[in-house]
Amino acid sequence: MSLGTVLASVRGARFLTQPELGAQMRPPVSDTTLSHWERDRRVPDATQLRELCRVLHVSADVLLERRPFELGPPEPDPG
């Protein structure tokens, strides 16, 4: 799997649309940008990756495929 495939899977498991996910990020990200990430046309930078982890309640290890995503309650927000 790619980062984009994992991102789309986690987003779907959290019942978020691309516009909803993008609006929750700081600063907000367009659904077009999220679509590019999910299709592996572009990749998020480090700050955007951190925001994805915060909003989706997963570690970067999950998005970077170092640890499998297990559907369950969202991981607590570290701060």
pTM comes to 0.85
- Please provide residue 55's backbone torsions phi and psi, each rounded to the nearest 5 degrees: -70, -40
Work out whether the CA dihedral 20, 32, 10, 28 comes out positive or negative. Answer: negative
In the chain, where the domains are located = 3-63
State the pLDDT at residue 44: 97
Residue 71 has pLDDT above 80, yes or no: no
Work out whether the CA dihedral 36, 38, 39, 43 comes out positive or negative. Answer: positive
The DSSP call for residue 12 is: H
How many other C-beta atoms can be found within 10 angstroms of the C-beta atom of residue 5?
13
What does the pLDDT look like over 14-45, one tens digit per residue?
A: 999 999 999 999 999 999 999 999 999 999 99
Q: Which CATH superfamily is domain 3-63 in?
A: lambda repressor-like DNA-binding domains (1.10.260.40)
Cβ atoms 5, 41 nearer than 8 A:
no
